[in-house]
Amino acid sequence: MKVSWSESESEVSQEDSSSSDDDDQHVAFVDSVQPVSDESDFESNDLSHESLGRKYDCLFKETLSLKEESLKLEANNHELQHEIIILKETKKELSDKFVSLEKEFVALVSIRSNLENQVNVLKESNIGFQNSNKQLLGELNEAKSKVISMTIGASKIDKMWTMGKLHGDKGGHGFNHFDSTSSSSTTRFVKSKTPTIATLDAQQVVKKPKFVPTCHRCGLTGHIRPVCHMYKKDKTRKLSSKSKRNPRSLQDQVDHLLNEVTKIAKLVSLKMSSHIVPKSTWVAKGHTKCLVVLNAFVASNTNSWYFDSGCSKHMSGDKSVFSSLNPFDGGTVTFGGGHKSQVVGKGTVCIPGLPELKNVRCVEGLTSNLISVSHLCDDGVIEVRFSKHGCKIIGKSGNEIASTARSRDNCYCIDGVNDAKEVVGNNVVNKTSVLWHQRLGHVNF
């Protein structure tokens, strides 16, 4: 007996296998049944059935392993596709970066060219400065040689000063001090002769004025330059500076030589006397002090109310402006200068054009009346507009209920005087010219 799929069923099964995914799980077994002829045939059939079963088992296992491998390959395929997408995105980003880097490279190349041009210009200017420096050094050397040729050595100057005589000393060759009282005014020339040692009596000896040396360094009398302490200090300072630093430049040497020349000229011009010329000093003739008086031309008005956006409450120091006032301990109020005042009460105030101000604090010592903008908005005002020229107050209906101009002291204030009260005052007009004359202190004005 043989069992098999019919042709129609096999065709249908093939179509189903192509359309569905579960057909790979169906396995068709084909077997044949024949009548037993003898024992040998039966044994051979048994062997064939066992071998076929083993083969089918092996095939089934291989199909399962192939299925697992196909699933793994599909998963790997999905991962590779995902990696391909990521690589495409990175490629796009890298291409964008490459374009931006190319633009930056072009900009850097242009900057480099500009810098090279600037460097060339600076090199040319540097060459010009070097040439001018060489020219100036040549001129400086010429000036130095001229100054050296015009100056006199210190040793020669010391020798000249030691050879000098005091003022009034007329001693010389052939001059007799005792014969100077003769009445003859004629000049007699005496021939030179060998020096003779004359012995004079003690009465005939006349004391000559003592020679007082003058220092050529500090200009003081009583010592000479080699023993002057200032000269020694300068000498040690010069030696230490030469050991610590490089030799001075040509300009410094020229300046030093010029200073020495001026010192020598001053020393030559000094008179060899111990008379000290008094120096003129400035002495104050009096102790008059000039004081400045600042006048405030805007007097404080108790009826004016100032709009203050930084004030926490409505405040006033005048009890007469309150329509109703109740005692209230509200603590203290700190002013800008650090001064504190006590709150003694609170009440209501009626100002024409504004809503009734409630919970107004009465503060001792407060000279101005302050309206808190935040509490004014809580009392029925929608908006308070501040501008360069003035202040406008907008009510609930959107209409302007009050406005005020900007005062001379750069404040926004509104007059709180009631129409029923009478105010009497004097009008004072300050002209600008008068104020300037008063400020500058013109006495004859």
Instruction: Kindly report, residue by residue over 369-423, the tens digit of the pLDDT.
Output: 888 888 888 777 778 888 888 888 888 777 887 888 887 777 888 876 544 444 4
209-223, 343-357, 407-421: range with lowest mean pLDDT: 407-421
Measured distance CA(171)–CA(177) in Å, rounded: 8
260-269, 331-340, 366-375, 422-431: range with lowest mean pLDDT: 422-431
158 or 360: which carries more pLDDT confidence?
360
Check residue 77 and give its pLDDT: 93
292 or 380: which carries more pLDDT confidence?
380
**Is the predicted pLDDT of residue 58 greater than 80, yes or no?**
yes
- Going by pLDDT thresholds of 50, 70 and 90, the confidence category of residue 167 is low
Contacts made by residues 27-36, CB under 8 angstroms, sequence distance 24+:
27/56, 27/60, 29/56, 30/2, 30/3, 30/4, 31/2, 31/3, 32/1, 32/2, 32/3, 33/1, 33/2, 33/3, 34/1
Domain covering 308-421 assigned CATH 2.40.70 in the classification: yes
Q: Best-predicted range by mean pLDDT among 288-302, 394-408, 420-434?
A: 394-408
Rounded to two decimals, the pTM is 0.30
- Going by pLDDT thresholds of 50, 70 and 90, the confidence category of residue 255 is confident
Query: What does the pLDDT average to over 197-208?
Result: 55
Check residue 176 and give its pLDDT: 55
Check residue 170 and give its pLDDT: 60
* Contact between 147 and 261 (Cβ < 8 Å): yes
Show the beta-strand stretches assigned E in 169-213. Answer: none
Cβ contacts of residue 93 below 8 Å, gap of 6+? none
**Is the predicted pLDDT of residue 267 greater than 90, yes or no?**
no
Q: What is the pLDDT of residues 24-43, one digit of tens each?
A: 444 444 555 455 445 555 55
**Is the predicted pLDDT of residue 337 greater than 70, yes or no?**
no
Q: Best-predicted range by mean pLDDT among 37-46, 127-136, 310-319, 398-407?
A: 127-136
